[in-house]
Copies of this chain bind each other. A is one copy, B any other.
Amino acid sequence: MKFGVVLFPSKKLQDVANSYRKRYDSHYSLIPPHLTLKEVFEATEDQIDEIAANLRKIAEETNPFTLNVTKVSSFSPANNVIYLKVEQKQELTSLYNKLHEGNLEQPTEYSFIPHITIGQRLSDDEHLDVYSQLKLVDVAHEETVDRFHLMYQLENETWTVFETFRLGKG
């Protein structure tokens, strides 16, 4: 099975993200707006119980922290991905690192740039057009993160939550 670890922002921020994703993100109907903490990895149902126990421990050791969205940005020209840029704070990086250590280690194609995708798989022209508009929008937003989620993917490519981990509940 395919698993991944994400943060879901507040309903408010998810609604904002979805107002763009509906038009510009081909994954709109597969998963709610999210910040990926750990890219997709393969695990069996037996392995995942051990991994979940590990994630539970990491959550207990991590205190809730503030998440700041600063602006709309893009991974172009590498990738025509438009996203809400999330400030790279020590707490977030530390959580990311813990999710890639020990038995959670995995090869990572990208370095960690915390973001919430709002547009992807756009043609160059469409990307340029949409991004030139969206980068002018004020999306500044602050909220508290107090949980993250282990997800798994179904055959139809949609994602279901396996377990929620609340921060600092040790």
Any chain B CB within 8 A of the CB of A90?
Answer: no
Q: Give the residue name and chain of the B residue nearest to A30 (CB).
A: B29
Q: How many copies does the complex hold?
A: 2
A166 interface neighbour in B11, B152, B155, B163, Cβ under 8 Å: B163
Interface footprint category on A = 20 to 34
Q: Give the residue name and chain of the B residue nearest to A22 (CB).
A: B156
Any chain B CB within 8 A of the CB of A147?
Answer: yes
Contact across chains for B11 and A1 when beta carbons are under 8 A apart = yes
Contact across chains for B166 and A15 when beta carbons are under 8 A apart = no
A32 interface neighbour in B11, B18, B22, B160, Cβ under 8 Å: B160
Q: Give the residue name and chain of the B residue nearest to A164 (CB).
A: B164
Any chain B CB within 8 A of the CB of A130?
Answer: no
Query: In the complex, what distance in Å separates the CA atom of A18 from the CA atom of B1?
Result: 17
Q: Give the residue name and chain of the B residue nearest to A147 (CB).
A: B163
